[in-house]
Structure 1
Amino acid sequence: MTIRLQHLLPVSLLLLWLSGCAVQQPAPSDISLTQEISERNQQVSALNKWKILGRIAFIQADKRESASLNWQYEQDPQDNTRQRLDLTAPLGINVLHLESDNNRHVLEVDGEEYHSDDLDALIYSLTGLTLPTQALTHWLKGLAYLPQDRLSYNEVTHLPSRLTSLYNNRLWSVEYQNYQLVDGHRLATRFSITQADLNIKILVKKWTL
């Protein structure tokens, strides 16, 4: 049974917030962002511990919801992974809390805990939100998740501009915008992720590496 996330912020308010941030955060010049593709891929592939703070919106014809996003991810040298994901509505109401240790996922919604080894299916069954979490840990860095993922690059900066993927037998497209230098890493801060009639918009206010 799907749990309705009634406390999520209306997407219209998110769009106003996005436009305000675009004015307040000037992007570095193209010259400072330019980096060879192979050099960047090697650099961000080694980036195995990160945290993002920002906002996320889910936009469909019959559903428009958004929330604050707090996502922490870590992978150790033995390929063990841990992550924590929070979606928070206005007034600090936590509408989704996730903690994962490898493929053991614990999701808390409306004060109840649920367990599964299939995170994407668990999130969808409880919230009705389609979120390709496993692939996004790579896509957010501008890296392919599957060997057949295809990336296009900006002609000036050589940074990823678009990614397409057949993830879970669904065609996904990721557009990258507004790169910033973060501790020497060139990382996108605006994402538009589409699959069929779903559009997920992510605005990263802060990367922490």
Structure 2
Amino acid sequence: MMLKQLIPALLLITLLGGCTTIQLEPLPEGMTEQPPADWTQRSRSLNQFDHWQLSGKLAVRQPSDSGTAVINHWEQQGEQYDLALSSAFLGMGSTRLLGTPGFLKLQLANGDTYQSSEPETLVLAATGWQLPIDSLTWWIRGLPSPASDFRLLFDDRQQLAIIHQSGWEIRYDRWQPFIEDLPQLPAKITALKDDKRVRVVISDWQRKD
């Protein structure tokens, strides 16, 4: 299957600068769209931080079902990711997701392997969970995906508080200084869309060579 073409670096820089055509309701109290003075440098540092590993927990709530999973590891090497989950929910057991933007291979505990050029559709069919996996690789670092328009909201501490993108609202509930010489990284994220919620709690971040 063909992979999507890589997003040009120039487009990425433009997007990270905050350009967007999204029109939403008035700002929540205490929020601003005005980025802090160090946002350009902060976002550049987080964008360059593209070889990493994290561990933690994932929780999904939706009308049809809900469940939790342990993130044994999420390894990111540029655009390639390797996400290993463990969950007793719906008999998922150990599930491994290996992919790049626009392509996913999913390995189930029973050894069955599936692959698709539509990652979200494959995850939904295999697990029943709606996970915006391609966008999560950006949101997890506190960055908007370069794939579509977005809106950024900052709180009174000049920290990124919310990303609106692709119909999702991504809330940054907690940040921590996990890695020396890097800006603070998300420790708790909640992504909301209609009646669906995805929550990620990160217990550890590591830089990978």
TM-score by length of 1: 0.72
Whether the aligned pair in 2 keeps the contact of 1:162 and 1:176 (CA below 8 Å) is yes
Corresponding residue number in structure 2 for 1:179: 175
1:74 aligns with 2:77: yes
Q: CA deviation at 1:37?
A: 1.3
Using the alignment, how far apart are the partners of 1:104 and 1:152 within structure 2? 30
Using the alignment, how far apart are the partners of 1:195 and 1:116 within structure 2? 23
Using the alignment, how far apart are the partners of 1:153 and 1:173 within structure 2? 13
- How many residue pairs end up in the alignment? 164
Matching residue's letter, 2:76: Y
1:106 aligns with 2:105: yes
Q: CA deviation at 1:62?
A: 3.6
SS at match of 1:43: helix
Whether the aligned pair in 1 keeps the contact of 2:102 and 2:134 (CA below 8 Å) is no
Unaligned runs of 5+ in 2: 1-35
1:65 aligns with 2:63: no
TM-superposition CA deviations, 1:27-81 (whole Å, max 9, x none): xxxxxxx982112111101111111100000112441200101211111xxxxx3
Unaligned runs of 5+ in 1: 1-33, 76-80
**Change beyond 3 A, Cα 1:190–1:99:** same
Corresponding residue number in structure 2 for 1:150: 151
Corresponding residue number in structure 2 for 1:88: 86
> How much is the aligned-residue C-alpha RMSD, in angstroms?
2.0
**Change beyond 3 A, Cα 1:172–1:57:** same
Corresponding residue number in structure 2 for 1:36: 38
Q: 1:203 aligns with which of 193, 201, 204?
A: 201
Q: CA deviation at 1:133?
A: 0.8
1:119 aligns with 2:119: yes
Using the alignment, how far apart are the partners of 1:101 and 1:57 within structure 2? 22
TM-score by length of 2: 0.72
Matching residue's letter, 1:161: A
Using the alignment, how far apart are the partners of 1:62 and 1:101 within structure 2? 28
Structure number with higher strand proportion: 1
Identity %: 20
Corresponding residue number in structure 1 for 2:55: 53
Using the alignment, how far apart are the partners of 1:188 and 1:63 within structure 2? 26
SS at match of 2:164: strand
Using the alignment, how far apart are the partners of 2:87 and 2:98 within structure 1? 18
Matching residue's letter, 2:106: L
Corresponding residue number in structure 1 for 2:5: none
Matching residue's letter, 1:74: Q
SS at match of 1:182: coil
Corresponding residue number in structure 1 for 2:136: 136
